[in-house]
Structure 1
Amino acid sequence: MGAEKEVISRTVSRTPTPARSFLNACVIVLTVTSSMIINSANSTSMAIAIPTLEKEWQLDPTQLQWIISAYPLSSGCLFLVCGRLADVYGRKKTFCVGSVFLASVTLACGFSPNVMTLDILRGIQGIGAAAMIPASLGILAHSFPPSRARSIAFATFAAGAPVGAIFGTAVGGVLVEYTAKTWRSSFYLLSALTLLCFIGGLISIDQDIPSEELDKRIDWIGAFLVTAGLVLVVFVLSQGELAPQKWGTPYIIVLLILGICLIGVFLYWQHYLETIQADVDSPYSIWTPPPLMKFSIWTRANGRFGAMMAIAFTNWCAFLAWTFWVQLYYQNYMQYNPMQTVIRLFPMFVSGVACNFFVGLMASRVPVVYLVVVGTLATSVACLLFAVINPAITYWAFGFTATVLSVMGADFVFSAGTLFIARVALPHEQSVAGALFNTMTQLGTAVGVTVTTVVYNNVGSRLAPGEDVLAMYRAAQWTAFAFGILATVIGVICFRGVGVVGFREPKTSSSTMEQGSPVVTDEKRQKNA
């Protein structure tokens, strides 16, 4: 990239942004941030309730997997499709419809009579989240033009993930332990909060404006290919260690190959559609709508769009694997109860909020490479501390330090990453770009937990009966550490010399003011970052 510092180009959207009051801006940010909090809480509130469910319905451990997995599976695999729908048909419409749908199905989950019904409803529940989250990113990008307010808005939205995770765990634990409805109470509460998101979105979010695209058709073939491919891949990742012959089970091998092939066909199909759409002499055909995702979007900003996706993927592999194994370490190895575990993980909440507050204020001053590298390196160190942890030493030496550092990678990368892709993406593809980012984090979650589980089980198979199983937890964390270091290396290589992602008022001289400031074209927007 050379020694000369490359600064992210200032882009000017052709879509006018209406003036808004401070109160209206706060309500918008609060509404979409609440959607992120609810999305995270829908996962963690059930994780803490699993032991109660197991006793109430007298379930086998193998029947518990889909209660946890069904929700992120459906939401993560539908992000891209729902992001495209939001860009074409309207982000406010998509957000409001998604919130009503999510509130209704979440309430229904609370009345589930058996585990099969709950599994199915959890899968349907994720569709609502898939509509809300990409639309939220598009709403923020449209509502807040490049400014300090945009940096704060995106950072606040990103804070919703750790806040939601702790909220779901803590409140879910309290409701399970102290209410008559136990685990059902969490669904009732989250349904009510989701309905408040609908009301907030209805009164505060700007009315949808028509998409800038001339051809607003939806690529339903691509939608089927990417959704089916992701569902199969994520299903295999979640079931590979639970199958009768584990990864050697025939249906696991077949479904994995089929899923990868479908994703490969999807990528080729998107490239083909983009080529057809770019050819002005190409005849009109109902079979060649605009691509669901432009293949060229991965090469935007000299390939840094794709690099940011890779960082999101590898960093979430590390962060979610760390979170998964730390909870098991505390509850299964140290024999702490759920509330004792929540207390030990509570510093994540404080650290997460502080990190996003820092990004909101400093995104216009600190180059993106420092945010990404410091964040991913901090998460890597958290994994390292648990990879060498000594249970006999006080919590404050290993556990507390790691808990504070762990969330930095997720928050710095999410905040800086969403700001970066909002600058690179064109106005009519903001929700699709946000959907891609969230899809990569979901895939990172599945891959990180799966790979570390394989390592954990392989180490356990070599231990003698009665031998201390601490080595298994350490091995899983060493694997998570490797993912974190990989994210750090990508950040150093690809973003060295890149400037800030937040808005900074340009320095102007009298001569510059007389000449006027140039407007950055769409072509420059795609090439520069």
Structure 2
Amino acid sequence: MGELKRLPDDLQAGEASPAPNGASATRPAWKSVLLVLICTLAMITNLASSTSVSIFLPIIGDDFDIPANQLQWLVSAFSLSSGCFLLLLGRLADLYGRKRFYIGGTLFLGALSLGSGFAQNAITLYILRGFQGLGPAAFIPACLGILAQAFPPSRARSAAFATFSAGAPIGGAVGTQIGALLTQYTKATWRAPFFLISGVAVLCALCGLFLIDPDVPSTETDKRVDWLGAFLVTSGLVFLVFVLGQGSSAPDGWKTGYIIALLILSVVFLVLFILWQRYLEKNQRTRRPPLMKLTLWSRAEGKFAVMQIIAFFEWASFISWTFWAQVYYEDYVKLPPVLAALRLLPMTITGGLCNIFVVLVVSRLDLVFLIVSGAFFTGLASLLFALIHPSAPFWAFGFPAAVVSVFGADFIFAAGTLFVAKVSAPHEQSLAGGLFQTLTQLGTAFGLAISTIAFDTVADGRGNDAPLEAYTAAQWTNFGMAMLCTYSKARF
């Protein structure tokens, strides 16, 4: 497929073009820096909302008498809504205003996080967590469009996207650690992280009012929305993510009737969506614009599609490693939440250093090298945990794994978001960014599903008493996905 050595400032692909309003030429430098920082803070808040819950699930289970096999719903419900509505809300943000969707999404997340903190029963918490994910589904694609609009192709854009992308792995790590500290050392226990996330989300909204440039009207002449396509793709993704998240815990596992039925339905809806988009794109003069142009996947000689595959497998491996490392520390080694979180602290520090490195080299370094090396280090983290000896000191396996695990997430997220922005037209920046985010969400669900199958096969129903071999089986699976990701990157 040829080589993409780096992302030069004048790269043009597909219909891409510089930001139309030239805002970056008149915006003060300090305002540009703050704009990037509030978008990055929004990304950190998104990941913290998703990951922090996992650290205090047992406490919520005790408070509300939730069975252990139902607790994962508090994580899955958020991912279900945030991952499945990215395409639709990204398209609407492109059409009706990214600033509006950023402010509305952050306020929505803040309101529902506050409600989650005051929830008095399991049903209320399940419902709030399910709707909570709609906030990030609105503001994350909007952030990508905002940054693409604010920074024309330049080193400044590279730095902006690299900084924004660092918010994902940092948010995951920080959310876990702060969640553990607040849960263990505050009177509000598990409610405290929800209150904090609510406050930070509202702060993002208030800052966005003053720092984000006014919305530029869409350049499209036909602004009708493909609601049929939106229904097909959203329904298909909801069913698929539900099946991936719940297949292992269903009454009869993957053989459960409703799991099989929903899997078939998801495939049918997604195939119909693709056929419908193809029909609309071929008949654009007489039909409404498609929700997603299929030709988008062939941009840059097909490298756009390869970049989505890369993102899919990287996040499948990285998030699964993070999940099983945490479970290993808490359920196998029997560490309290704070000590388990401390063992993942090197991820946060490394993530910050990786971000600085990417900002400095992303416009100069061979991106193939950057991406392949990142995936390799993510795989190395899984390999270290697949070979771990519980009696060995933390510095032998746990520390180096936590250090190298975040390389792939930082490098690939930064390179991926920048590349997607480069090959997308100005009126489709949020949609293309939403598509990239959707693939990372699907990768997360896929990775957790596959590694859980490996774990359960060896654990044989022993739950928290699972043998070490079950944890290593899950990490060998993560290692395999990282190596597959590395191969895809080498072909990139």
Taking structure 2 as the reference length, the TM-score comes to 0.95
- The offset of 1:424, in angstroms, is 0.5
SS of the aligned residue for 2:85 comes to helix
Distance in 2 (alpha carbons) for counterparts of 1:438 and 1:407: 17
Which of 255-264 and 40-49 deviates more? 40-49
- Who is 2:109 aligned against? 102
- Who is 2:482 aligned against? 484
Distance in 2 (alpha carbons) for counterparts of 1:257 and 1:222: 18
Note closer, same or farther for the CA distance 1:106–1:314 as it changes in structure 2 (3 Å cut).
Answer: same
Distance in 1 (alpha carbons) for counterparts of 2:316 and 2:65: 32
- Who is 1:68 aligned against? 75
- Who is 2:140 aligned against? 133
Q: Is 1:391 aligned to residue 386 of structure 2?
A: no
- Who is 2:299 aligned against? 300
Distance in 1 (alpha carbons) for counterparts of 2:344 and 2:227: 42
Q: Deviations over 1:483-512 (max 9, x none)?
A: 101111111112xxxxxxxxxxxxxxxxxx
Distance in 2 (alpha carbons) for counterparts of 1:336 and 1:109: 27
Distance in 2 (alpha carbons) for counterparts of 1:242 and 1:462: 11
Distance in 1 (alpha carbons) for counterparts of 2:212 and 2:396: 46
- The offset of 1:202, in angstroms, is 0.6
Q: Is 1:51 aligned to residue 58 of structure 2?
A: yes
- The offset of 1:44, in angstroms, is 2.0
Contact 1:134 1:432 in 2 (8 A): yes
SS of the aligned residue for 2:133 comes to helix
- Who is 2:356 aligned against? 357
- The offset of 1:59, in angstroms, is 2.1
User: What is the identity, as a one-letter code, of the residue corresponding to 1:13?
Assistant: P
Contact 1:29 1:157 in 2 (8 A): yes
Identity %: 49
Question: Which residue, out of 2, 6, 16, partners 2:21?
Answer: 16
- The offset of 1:472, in angstroms, is 1.0
Question: Which residue, out of 225, 229, 236, partners 1:222?
Answer: 229
Contact 1:387 1:474 in 2 (8 A): yes
Question: Which residue, out of 469, 472, 476, partners 2:470?
Answer: 472
- The offset of 1:3, in angstroms, is 8.7
- The offset of 1:375, in angstroms, is 0.3
- The offset of 1:445, in angstroms, is 0.5
Distance in 2 (alpha carbons) for counterparts of 1:377 and 1:53: 36
Note closer, same or farther for the CA distance 1:115–1:365 as it changes in structure 2 (3 Å cut).
Answer: same
- The offset of 1:172, in angstroms, is 1.4
Q: CA RMSD in A?
A: 1.9
- The offset of 1:178, in angstroms, is 1.8
* Alignment map for 1:221-370 (pairs within 5 Å): 221-277=228-284, 282-283=285-286, 288-370=287-369
- The offset of 1:171, in angstroms, is 1.6
Contact 1:95 1:135 in 2 (8 A): yes
Note closer, same or farther for the CA distance 1:199–1:314 as it changes in structure 2 (3 Å cut).
Answer: same
- Who is 1:425 aligned against? 424
User: What is the identity, as a one-letter code, of the residue corresponding to 1:354?
Assistant: L
Taking structure 1 as the reference length, the TM-score comes to 0.89
User: What is the identity, as a one-letter code, of the residue corresponding to 2:320?
Assistant: A
- Who is 1:40 aligned against? 47
Question: Which residue, out of 152, 172, 180, partners 2:187?
Answer: 180
Which of 102-111 and 112-121 deviates more? 102-111
- The offset of 1:466, in angstroms, is 12
Divergent runs of 4+, >3 A = 1-9, 465-468
Contact 1:148 1:361 in 2 (8 A): no
* Alignment map for 1:75-94 (pairs within 5 Å): 75-94=82-101
Distance in 1 (alpha carbons) for counterparts of 2:444 and 2:217: 35
Contact 1:373 1:491 in 2 (8 A): yes
Contact 1:380 1:481 in 2 (8 A): yes
Distance in 1 (alpha carbons) for counterparts of 2:245 and 2:392: 34
User: What is the identity, as a one-letter code, of the residue corresponding to 1:295?
Assistant: L
Contact 2:5 2:367 in 1 (8 A): no
SS of the aligned residue for 2:411 comes to helix
- The offset of 1:228, in angstroms, is 0.5
- Who is 1:380 aligned against? 379
Contact 2:6 2:363 in 1 (8 A): no
Contact 2:6 2:362 in 1 (8 A): no
Distance in 2 (alpha carbons) for counterparts of 1:176 and 1:50: 10
Note closer, same or farther for the CA distance 1:2–1:336 as it changes in structure 2 (3 Å cut).
Answer: closer
- Who is 1:408 aligned against? 407
SS of the aligned residue for 2:249 comes to coil
Report the count of equivalent residues: 485
User: What is the identity, as a one-letter code, of the residue corresponding to 2:188?
Assistant: K
Q: Unpaired segments of 5 or more residues in structure 1?
A: 495-529
Which of 93-102 and 453-462 deviates more? 453-462
SS of the aligned residue for 2:248 comes to coil
Which of 52-61 and 265-274 deviates more? 52-61
